[in-house]
Chain A
Amino acid sequence: MRKALSISFITIKELLHERVFYLIGGFALLAVGVSLLLGDLTYAEQSKITLDFLLAGIELTNLLFSVFMGITLLHRELNLGWIAMVLSKPVSRTSFLMGKFLGQAFVQGLVILMMGFLTWGLCSMNQITIVPTSLFQSLLLMFFEGLIMSSIVYIFAVNLGALLAAASSLVVYALGNFTTGAERTNQALQQSYVWMALKALIPNFRILNMKTLASYGLSIEWNLVGILFLYTLVCCFMYFSAAAVSFSRRDIFT
């Protein structure tokens, strides 16, 4: 575990050097733009819609971070050959992957937190009431979603090229968001074994989405947050294990 932590420390430095906080700058611009555009709406609408837009912005940034940073972190190691000097030491490939994952998760959490503070600041400036608990819970669930997404991205990133890995990850994200809705509109799906297998393999991102609740200032029970945290851990363990097994078996040509 100490070796994985050493790798995660270097990964954090790498991500900070990547000027990942430009993402926050981009988000800040979006946030200011949204608040100006929606300024003409009535107070009740403005409050809800602005917060909804800002949370959707954080969610999108979080998704892009998981997919593109995850792929870049692994592919750069493999393509530039940095990995050769790490894996020639007594470090398992699983520890290497774990280090990358932990480093990415730390920076991802930091980015979400900073975007949350920006949202809070902007809403306060525009006299939009925010319920801190609901905003925090919403951000926390987005972080959980980011963790699950990153572990899924790793499965594709260790096996496929960058473009295919990104496309596959985004398809899984889309499926994870739409399985519940698809079932509601098409009852026959519930009888299909293929659909049931797909549902078992793909995480349900819908249950981690409480943007709408947060925009109305509503929060959920902390017990439920705990259960969702456990769900996140199980999903991460499952997908990360698949990525680690796959990575341990592949040839490294670098």
Chain B
Amino acid sequence: MNTADILIQGVSKQFRTGLGKSKIGVQNLNLEVPKGQVVGLLGPNGSGKSTTIKMILGFLRPTSGNIRVCGHQVPSKITRSFIGYLPENPRFPKFLSGRTLLNFYGRLLSLTGIELEKRIDFLLELVNLKAAGDEKVQGYSKGMTQRLAIAQALINKPRLLIFDEPMSGLDPLGRKDIRSLIGRIHSELPEATIFFSSHILEDIEQLCSMVALLKKGQLQTFCSIDELLKSDTQKFEVSVRSSKETEIKTLTGTDELITFLNESKSKGFFVSGINSQRKTLEEALFRDGNSPIKIARTNSPEAQP
């Protein structure tokens, strides 16, 4: 039995753009998202992030390939009972209040009565909308709407959370709010898998344990953030004091560091400090400034659940 919460096997999606013309959305995608991980789906605009998410939800039908969510074939109602989804730029009927909307979404998940009311109260508190819960959505700011959308995604304590560009269009403060909210969600639902797309590297680096990089509909990289940031070239900042001055040198890799330390010792220089510099995700992913690196840790399409 495969324990992956999302299993994508050889999935391609082509869109018809005109008579006899088509555009590739996603091409031969293989991805296995393990349970309990926070996985970032990274890529530039048009790379296939939203297409992948919509195929997982069953909104789009793959041209070929197979998708399973929590062991069940997509599309089916049962897969969606495991999922909490936050769309990109969520919008709600403006004539309803936040509480009425949460009640409506709860009923769609077969929740009723006191259980539902308690859950709504808890979620409004969690997303900091308790005071505005009875107000119509019409008066909500972008950040409040985003937080309400997160609340509706959490209403059934989902096993799999899918967020499509959760920080899109928010100001820095709003982004910080949502980031800390995702952190809180992870502590409230520690078993849950969080799968979210973004093109903001900083957000992925701060929140995710794993990252998948898409480019032009193809998977370039899929590995853990630690593995990615640790891999090959680690940088060190060394402070060296000679008789005249103090110099700071940046060294790449442990071999270079050891050689430098030995040389300094033989020259009688004093090494006053060594700082290990952690790479940023940007440095790790785009070493030559443009093309993303390829780390072949994609999962085999043969893997069966």
- Residues on A lying within 8 angstroms of B by beta carbon are 2-3, 6-7, 9-10, 13-14, 17, 80-82, 84-92, 249, 251-254
18 further A-B contacts with Cβ under 8 Å, apart from A80-B91, A90-B77, A252-B60, are A3-B110, A6-B104, A10-B93, A10-B104, A81-B87, A81-B89, A82-B93, A85-B149, A86-B108, A88-B57, A88-B84, A88-B87, A90-B108, A90-B110, A92-B77, A249-B61, A252-B59, A254-B59
- Taking CB atoms and an 8 Å cut-off, the chain B residues in 67-96 that contact chain A are 77-78, 80-81, 83-85, 87, 89-93, 95-96
Partner of B109, one of A17, A82, A90: A90
Question: Do B87 and A84 touch (CB < 8 A)?
Answer: yes
- Whole-angstrom CA separation of A122 from B291 in the bound complex: 76
> Which residues on A sit within 8 Å (CB–CB) of B92?
82, 85
Question: Do A6 and B108 touch (CB < 8 A)?
Answer: yes
Question: Do B95 and A85 touch (CB < 8 A)?
Answer: no
> Which residues on B sit within 8 Å (CB–CB) of A3?
107-108, 110
Partner of A87, one of B59, B90, B91: B59
Question: Do A91 and B77 touch (CB < 8 A)?
Answer: yes
> Which residues on A sit within 8 Å (CB–CB) of B80?
87-91
Partner of A84, one of B77, B78, B85, B107: B85
Interface core residue of A14, A17, A88, A252 (most chain B CB under 10 Å):
A88
> Which residues on A sit within 8 Å (CB–CB) of B95?
13-14, 17
Specify the chain A residue showing the minimal Cβ separation from B60.
Answer: A251
- Whole-angstrom CA separation of A6 from B60 in the bound complex: 25
- Whole-angstrom CA separation of A117 from B91 in the bound complex: 38
- Whole-angstrom CA separation of A249 from B75 in the bound complex: 11
- Whole-angstrom CA separation of A81 from B104 in the bound complex: 16
**Chain B interface residue bracket vs A:** 20 to 34
> Which residues on A sit within 8 Å (CB–CB) of B218?
none
* Cβ distance B143 to chain A, nearest Cβ, rounded Å: 18
Q: Answer whether residue B54 sits at the interface, using C-beta atoms and an 8 A cutoff.
A: yes
Specify the chain B residue showing the minimal Cβ separation from A86.
Answer: B108
Question: Do B152 and A85 touch (CB < 8 A)?
Answer: yes
Q: Answer whether residue B269 sits at the interface, using C-beta atoms and an 8 A cutoff.
A: no
- Whole-angstrom CA separation of A249 from B58 in the bound complex: 10
- Whole-angstrom CA separation of A2 from B80 in the bound complex: 17
- Whole-angstrom CA separation of A253 from B61 in the bound complex: 11
- How many A-B pairs with Cβ below 8 Å? 78
Q: Answer whether residue B140 sits at the interface, using C-beta atoms and an 8 A cutoff.
A: no
- Whole-angstrom CA separation of A191 from B143 in the bound complex: 65
Question: Do A84 and B93 touch (CB < 8 A)?
Answer: no
- Whole-angstrom CA separation of A90 from B81 in the bound complex: 5
- Whole-angstrom CA separation of A81 from B105 in the bound complex: 15
> Which residues on A sit within 8 Å (CB–CB) of B108?
3, 6-7, 86, 89-91
> Which residues on B sit within 8 Å (CB–CB) of A9?
104
Given contacts A2-B107, A13-B96, A91-B77, is CB(A253)–CB(B85) below 8 Å? Answer: no
* Cβ distance B166 to chain A, nearest Cβ, rounded Å: 14
Question: Do A251 and B109 touch (CB < 8 A)?
Answer: no
> Which residues on A sit within 8 Å (CB–CB) of B81?
89-90
Question: Do A85 and B105 touch (CB < 8 A)?
Answer: yes
Partner of A85, one of B54, B58, B77, B90: B90
* Cβ distance B95 to chain A, nearest Cβ, rounded Å: 4
Mark each residue of chain B from 146 to 184: 1 if its CB lies under 8 Å from any CB of chain A, else 0.
Answer: 000100100000000000000000000000000000000
- Whole-angstrom CA separation of A135 from B231 in the bound complex: 82
Question: Do A251 and B59 touch (CB < 8 A)?
Answer: yes
Can you list 27 contacts pairing A with B, beta carbon distance less than 8 Å? Answer: A2-B107, A2-B110, A3-B107, A14-B93, A17-B95, A80-B91, A81-B87, A81-B89, A82-B91, A84-B59, A84-B85, A85-B92, A85-B152, A86-B105, A86-B108, A87-B57, A88-B57, A88-B80, A89-B80, A90-B77, A90-B110, A91-B77, A91-B80, A251-B61, A252-B59, A253-B54, A253-B60
* Cβ distance A15 to chain B, nearest Cβ, rounded Å: 10
* Cβ distance B147 to chain A, nearest Cβ, rounded Å: 14
- Whole-angstrom CA separation of A7 from B93 in the bound complex: 12
Specify the chain B residue showing the minimal Cβ separation from A14.
Answer: B93
- Whole-angstrom CA separation of A14 from B84 in the bound complex: 25
Given contacts A81-B90, A252-B54, is CB(A89)–CB(B105) below 8 Å? Answer: yes
Specify the chain A residue showing the minimal Cβ separation from B58.
Answer: A87
> Which residues on A sit within 8 Å (CB–CB) of B91?
80-82
* Cβ distance B62 to chain A, nearest Cβ, rounded Å: 10
Specify the chain A residue showing the minimal Cβ separation from B50.
Answer: A253
Specify the chain B residue showing the minimal Cβ separation from A91.
Answer: B108
> Which residues on B sit within 8 Å (CB–CB) of A10?
93, 96, 104
- Whole-angstrom CA separation of A171 from B194 in the bound complex: 49
- Whole-angstrom CA separation of A17 from B95 in the bound complex: 7
> Which residues on A sit within 8 Å (CB–CB) of B60?
251-253
A-B pairs, top 10 by smallest CB distance, nearest first, are A88-B85, A17-B95, A89-B108, A90-B77, A90-B81, A252-B59, A84-B87, A6-B107, A90-B80, A251-B60
- Whole-angstrom CA separation of A227 from B83 in the bound complex: 46
> Which residues on B sit within 8 Å (CB–CB) of A6?
104, 107-108
- Whole-angstrom CA separation of A14 from B105 in the bound complex: 16
> Which residues on A sit within 8 Å (CB–CB) of B85?
84-85, 88
> Which residues on A sit within 8 Å (CB–CB) of B78?
90
